[in-house]
Chains A and B, each alone.
Chain A
Amino acid sequence: MLHEPATPAAKDPAGPYKMRLGILMFVLYSLFYAAFVAINLLSPPTMATIVFAGLNLATVYGFTLIIVALLEALLYNAMCLKKEAEYAQADKAAGAGSASTKA
């Protein structure tokens, strides 16, 4: 029993799409994060620049990294849901087509 998944894993036709999308979004966020680390390492005083409402670049960039993570996550979920719905719709149509042929 322990050699089986904790819950049965159904085949996911949207899997390849979601994987490609996930990697794309991961790369985009990684670049954004890398730029943050790079500024800290290559030009630390730049982080002290006041950019908005008395807040410096360090604070604004840090908050933006957190907020962008959430926005990207929501966008990813929306796109995954859309693709999953498309496949579910296609499955349903195929099922209905096959049923009417049989009828």
Chain B
Amino acid sequence: MAIIVFLLFVVFVVGLSLYLGNKAKTASGYYAAGGKIHWGVNGIAFAGDYLSAASFLGICGLIATAGYDGFLYSIGYLAGWIVALFVVAEPLKRLGKYTFTDAVDANYNSRGIKLFAAISTLVVSICYLIPQMVGAGVLVEPLLGIPHAWGVVMVGAIVITIVATAGMASTTYVQFLKGGLLIIFSAILVGAVVLRGFTTQPDQGGTVPFYKYSELAAAKSGDSISVSDPAWRVVEQKTVKGAPVMVKLARDGKESWWSVADNAGVITLKENQSVVTRKDGPWINGAPASPTNQLRQVGNLEKIKGQSDVSTGSLPSPLEFLSVITDKDTAVRTWKTANFTDGNGDKVTAYYPEVVSGDRIMRPGLKFKVEGTPLERLDFLSLMLALFLGTAALPHILIRYYTVPNSASARKSTIVAIAAIGAFYILTLYMGLGAMTSGVINPADSNMSAPLLARSFGELLFAVISAIAFATILGTVSGLIVAASGAIAHDLFDRFFKIKMDDRQKVNAGKISAFVIGGIAIVLGILFKGINVTFLVGLAFAVAASANLPAILMLLFWKRTTAKGIAASIIVGIVSSLGLIAFSPELYTLYGLNPLDAPIPLNNPGIISIPLSFVTLIVVSLLTPKRALAMA
């Protein structure tokens, strides 16, 4: 069922693209859909562009595992549209032609701006492309049963076809379709979640019996743990930084990992799930991995308003849904990850439970250390700043202002986008919390939480939601590739290198560029497998806000801005944000190094790189003469 719905959807999208291909005979048609898109369609297409894999898969997954902290991304992403609407939309529409570079270079005709703005578009687009491609692989793997890498290749091939056939017109209608369907079916899913209500023993819609994890009484002598039940034998124990002590137990020849909980001197061992990478292949929960032996999906309420073993039945309202979880006597069983090497030298990933009260789930702090050290708080501030300022600087969002006929349409389409995106982001909180409490989270990859939540209501909803999620990725990647190919073919070849091309050749250059960028995206999507997609998109926002936003804002609002000032701020924004990210603790973890050794203590660079880019623009502008357009 899922495969049929999915394939039908893909065939429809590609067919639509081929049909619209006839409209892309000119450069204006290819890059800006001829500037003839209706503002209502463009507004929903904005939502389609914006509600990427990060929004649908990533945010829902983050809320499912970190509660309200995931919703902070929703708030920040939506707030960013205020900058786009009130400050950027209409002036940019009046300035621009086809690309971000056109807009910032409109008053200068500077080779420096052309080069650096094109590079910035490429860098931001590729940063944004990586999580989309990773999300594609994650989604296709369980849906079609093919390896992650093939999923990424498939998405890349389809997207290249879409972009190379019709450019912005095709991308716009795909985004319109996808954006509309995403919001409608997310609302249906949320309605189903509220109507089902809560239970402390979720069974995935009756398809998978609730698994009750065991606890064992234990004792501690010095650092040594022993189990009270003689049927169990302690094999080894490991001290893991940032996690409880881990104990490997054996019973009837089967080994399993348990985490130690010390509650005021009362020692308990809690059953974990584990993946052990042995020489003969991965072992899951003490047995070789196989199609029937996979990690169990997790996440449930331990108590509902203080009561165990209960179900609420249908809830009277969506607000009641949130109210039940917010209650301080509601307890949620969440899961965390610990990585270490066991006594045999095998790598172990243990997933251990942690019960958190509802009032803690529903306020910031589980992921972002808002009560931590000053640096940790600064990191949070940095993230919220980048989310707020990043939206109005994303190239694939900016180019959508050129697809409508006039500046009033640009404004109106932004308002439609805010309405659609705002509604969707409210739904993300319900979908994320629904997944958190419905036993549908894959502990190894939270990105699939929303589709798996849909599966708990039946295969049809799962199929539709998965197909829409896939289209989400197709649409966003298409938009990004149009933006990136515009940077190469239009900004660099045509404007910077001044290669003489007629209109048809310019379109062909764009299509060839789309192939190249698509190929790069495929490779990066495979290399970055397993990385949190929301985190990656957050970084793309930081790079965009650092590299592009100072140039856009100062160009519009400071008459002393010079071409050299803009070029310098763009390059400083790119280098500083990417440099800070490359040496951040999160990336050190990715490299397999100790995050505490990272020379930059922040994961989010915006708080440094955005002001630095502004200061660079101001200082360089003051030091360089403002030239008239004709002399430049």
Contact = CB atoms under 8 A, between A and B. Distances in A.
Given A22-B85, A23-B86, A41-B370, A66 B319 contact: no
A4 B85 contact: no
Contact of A44 (B87, B363, B411): B363
B323 A54 contact: yes
Contacts, number: 169
Interface string A46-58: 0110100111111
Interface residues of B, number: 70
Interface string B383-411: 01000100000000000001111111001
Interface string A76-96: 110011001000000000000
Interface residues of A, number: 51
A30 B425 CA distance: 19
Given A15-B90, A18-B90, A23-B87, A72 B82 contact: yes
Q: With a 10 A CB-CB cut-off, give which of B94, B320, B370, B404 has the most chain A CB atoms.
A: B370
Contacts of A3: 97
A96 to B, nearest CB: 23
Given A2-B506, A19-B91, A56-B363, A9 B406 contact: yes
Given A2-B494, A6-B35, A19-B91, A62 B79 contact: no
Contacts of A29: 79, 82, 86
Contacts of A22: 85-87, 90
Contacts of B415: 70, 73-74, 76-77
Contact of A26 (B82, B320, B359): B82
A41 B490 CA distance: 44
A65 B78 CA distance: 9
Given A37-B384, A67-B422, A77-B411, A55 B323 contact: yes
Given A54-B322, A70-B419, A65 B75 contact: yes
Interface of B: 27-28, 31-32, 34-36, 68, 71-72, 74-75, 78-79, 81-83, 85-87, 90-91, 93-94, 96-98, 319-320, 322-324, 326-327, 359-360, 362-365, 370-371, 377, 380-381, 384, 388, 402-408, 411-412, 414-415, 418-419, 422, 425-426, 429, 490, 494-495, 503, 506, 557
Given A40-B380, A59-B68, 18 more contacts: A3-B97, A5-B97, A6-B403, A7-B405, A25-B86, A33-B388, A36-B75, A37-B381, A41-B380, A44-B371, A45-B363, A54-B319, A59-B326, A69-B418, A70-B419, A72-B86, A73-B85, A74-B415
